[in-house]
Amino acid sequence: MARNRFDVDENLESPFDIKHFRRAMIYIRRKKKPMIIAFLLSALSAAIALSAPLIMQHVVDVTIPAKAKLPLLGWSALMLLTIVSSVYLATIRSRIMTRVGQDIIFDIRTDLFTHLQELPFKYYDDRPQGKILIRVVNYVNSVSDVLSNGIINFILEIVNLIFIAVFMFAVDVRLSFVILAGLPVFLGIMLLIKTRQRRAWQAVSNKSSNLNAYLQESITGIGVTQIFSREQHNEGIFTRLADNFRKEWMRALKLNTLIPFTVDNLSTMVTAMIFLVGLLTLSPQDMTFGVILAMSSYAARFWQPILNLSNLYNNFINAVAYLERIFETLDEPVTVSDIAGAKELPSIQGRVTFDNVTFAYDPGVNILENISFDVSAGESIALVGPTGAGKTTVVNLISRFYNLTGGRILMDGQDISQVTLKSLRSQMGIMLQDSFIFSGTILDNIRYGRLDATEEEVVAAAKAVCADEFIREFELGYLTEVNERGSKLSQGQRQLISFARTLLADPRILILDEATSSIDAKTERLLQKGLNELLKGRTSFIIAHRLSTVKNCDRIMYVSNKGIAESGSHEQLIAQRGHYYRLYTAQKMEA
């Protein structure tokens, strides 16, 4: 699919609107109390700071001309007190909002991770992992400040503007209108660039996602890269993606810097106009120097909140591009889930029935069509056939990793779509072709699916699959730490640990998808001895390309042409001299 590439921009399926912002407010309301306290502290700090120009005006117009030294010291001490108090209150507020911001990050990230755990396989089939990771980590970091400090600061700056306007008009009405004269110009520029800004930051979001996806892919496949000496070529791809990101970032930043540039210049021009109007057009009787000085100070203070608001607006535009992606992920439907009124699947015997099952990954392109078969409890079934025929799809449908396109699958006579996923999968042991090892100890990895298992039970499972011997060769044995994906282990060792993990769950139905593909022939023979005992009483589905490993199964199904082309025991299928016979004969000749 086009979306499953690192070099293809993701199309935004749910553009940002006001409902997204209302959803974001849910996280803000959870921290309502500390945010109110922070706002009150900010308002008090701002009010104290605004008294400074009035003190300055009085000192210039009254205290200094009167040469009153003692009052001058008093007013200086009061000015110092306003500065210290304002800074102290702002510091407390900053500490509160830092905690609030981190709490919001925690809440959003937890909701994202919880939702990602529930999304079906198809969601991950369609996207590079890097494009998912960047939403949970980078994008959440990017929006946290806007959802915490941004809201408080926006309200505070509005209040500041009102306070400053009141103080300005109380000092001089005429010069106040001079200060306000630059607002129409500022608002006009904002309206002109707002749409371009949003699109620019959406582009930055896309290029950042692409870069992260390729980086994650490159790290995961570094071994293959070095084997084929692709370092230089891959560097070229990375450089191109990084350059695309740089260009979009610079384009977006140019639009962002236009606003503070405008505010700074308007503030300078307005201040100049105050001195021009105050000194050249008004008489000394109408306008004292202290008033002009106070109004120039208020002019700077008036345009500072506007600059702050414009920066907040920039940050909001940036955050919108990320919020869109975050909420798009949270809105991704959990298509494979418990239906309303789903029942717990009781302890099963292991009978599995496919009743006219049809399945397609993409609409209109069926992988399986009208498949029907019945597997008795305790029966071992081998699924063989050409690559891409649908063998893995069959076992994925038994596990209900995907919803059926048509038909139904029964387990002990119960439709698996009508029972809870947990009660279904808890009775299944599934070992996929890719043996994934988590970071942690070998003991933790084996016990991953059954946390209450004792150490003795873990060791017993490892012995059954011939993993105990190599585990004990490590200095710390079962307490040996392994890296993510088990890089310290061979592929065969990783598969044996995964096997032990699956068997420890004591499942009623066992699914093995190429489970022994990376184990040497000697180990496989030893493993088969243990498996023969463990498979007794369990229904098992085994996928294997090496037919020698499945010839003893109760039944072999040859999957081809969207269905089951042949079914029977090894001897029966050989006697039919059909698909299975030709495949088995070809492998025997190659051996």
Q: DSSP string covering 340-369, please?
A: TTPBPPPPP---EEEEEEEEEEETTEEEEE
Q: Give the residue from 191, 539, 95 showing the smallest Cα distance to 350.
A: 539
Q: Is the pLDDT of residue 12 over 60?
A: no
Residue 4's pLDDT band, with cuts at 50, 70 and 90, is low
Average per-residue pLDDT for the chain:
81
Centre a 10 Å sphere on the Cβ of residue 540 and count the other Cβ atoms it contains: 23
Q: Please give the average per-residue pLDDT across 454-482, as a whole number.
A: 88
Q: Say which residues have a Cβ less than 8 Å from residue 562's Cβ, sequence separation at least 6.
A: 366, 367, 368, 369, 390
Task: Quote the pLDDT of residue 434.
Answer: 66
pTM across the whole model: 0.66
Q: Please give the average per-residue pLDDT across 278-297, as a whole number.
A: 69
User: Which percentage of the chain shows pLDDT scores above 90?
Assistant: 17
The single-letter code of the amino acid at 89 is L
Residue 7's pLDDT band, with cuts at 50, 70 and 90, is low
| Cα 197 off chain centre by | 24
Task: Quote the pLDDT of residue 533.
Answer: 60
Written as six digits, the tokens of 555 are: 């039944």
| 478: region left, alpha or beta (phi > 0 left; psi from -120 to 50 alpha) | alpha
Q: Which of 5-19, 145-159, 463-477, 556-570 has the lowest mean pLDDT?
A: 5-19
Quote the CA–CA distance of 445 and 485 in Å, as a whole number. 11
Helix (H) or strand (E) holding 200: helix 183-220
Would you say 408 and 357 are in contact if contact means Cβ atoms under 8 Å apart?
Answer: yes
Q: Is the pLDDT of residue 15 over 90?
A: no
Quote the CA–CA distance of 430 and 313 in Å, as a whole number. 51
Task: Quote the pLDDT of residue 285.
Answer: 61
Q: Is the pLDDT of residue 119 over 90?
A: no
Would you say 380 and 555 are in contact if contact means Cβ atoms under 8 Å apart?
Answer: yes
Would you say 558 and 573 are in contact if contact means Cβ atoms under 8 Å apart?
Answer: yes
Q: What is the CATH number of domain 18-330?
A: 1.20.1560.10
Centre a 10 Å sphere on the Cβ of residue 76 and count the other Cβ atoms it contains: 13
Would you say 498 and 435 are in contact if contact means Cβ atoms under 8 Å apart?
Answer: yes
User: Up-side HSE of residue 139: CA atoms within 13 Å toward CB?
Assistant: 29
Would you say 182 and 269 are in contact if contact means Cβ atoms under 8 Å apart?
Answer: yes
Residue 534's pLDDT band, with cuts at 50, 70 and 90, is low
Task: Quote the pLDDT of residue 298.
Answer: 74
Residue 2's pLDDT band, with cuts at 50, 70 and 90, is very low
Q: Please give the average per-residue pLDDT across 231-249, as a whole number.
A: 88
pLDDT digits (tens, 9 = 90+) for 398-431: 989 899 999 999 999 999 999 999 899 888 887 7
Q: Give the residue from 506, 570, 493 showing the smallest Cα distance to 533.
A: 506
Q: Say which residues have a Cβ less than 8 Å from residue 55's Cβ, sequence separation at least 6.
A: 75, 78, 79, 82
Would you say 445 and 482 are in contact if contact means Cβ atoms under 8 Å apart?
Answer: yes
The single-letter code of the amino acid at 69 is K
Residue bearing tokens 């600059």: 307
Would you say 366 and 407 are in contact if contact means Cβ atoms under 8 Å apart?
Answer: no
| Biggest CA-to-CA distance, the chain | 121
Q: Please give the average per-residue pLDDT across 119-142, as a whole number.
A: 79
Task: Quote the pLDDT of residue 359.
Answer: 94
Which strands, in side-by-side order, build the sheet including 365-375?
A: 365-375, 352-362, 406-411, 414-415
Task: Quote the pLDDT of residue 1.
Answer: 35
pLDDT digits (tens, 9 = 90+) for 488-516: 787 778 878 888 888 888 888 988 887 66
Quote the CA–CA distance of 325 and 299 in Å, as a whole number. 40
Task: Quote the pLDDT of residue 485.
Answer: 62
Would you say 535 and 501 are in contact if contact means Cβ atoms under 8 Å apart?
Answer: no
Written as six digits, the tokens of 258 are: 């236009």
Quote the CA–CA distance of 433 and 546 in Å, as a whole number. 14
Q: Please give the average per-residue pLDDT across 206-213, as a whole number.
A: 83
Q: Please give the average per-residue pLDDT across 300-312, as a whole number.
A: 78
Range with top average pLDDT, 14-18, 158-162, 472-476: 472-476
Residue bearing tokens 């791809």: 237
**Total length of the chain:** 591
Would you say 350 and 429 are in contact if contact means Cβ atoms under 8 Å apart?
Answer: no
Q: Is the pLDDT of residue 53 over 90?
A: no
Helix (H) or strand (E) holding 422: helix 421-425
Say which DSSP state 338 is in: P
pLDDT digits (tens, 9 = 90+) for 311-353: 777 777 767 767 878 888 888 888 888 888 899 999 999 999 9
User: Which percentage of the chain shows pLDDT scores above 70?
Assistant: 88
Task: Quote the pLDDT of residue 47.
Answer: 76
Range with top average pLDDT, 13-22, 143-152, 295-304, 383-392: 383-392
Q: Is the pLDDT of residue 537 over 80?
A: no
Residue 459's pLDDT band, with cuts at 50, 70 and 90, is very high
Task: Quote the pLDDT of residue 370.
Answer: 93
Q: Is the pLDDT of residue 194 over 50?
A: yes
Task: Quote the pLDDT of residue 501.
Answer: 86
Four-CA torsion 256, 257, 263, 266, nearest 10 degrees: -130
| Cα 402 off chain centre by | 22
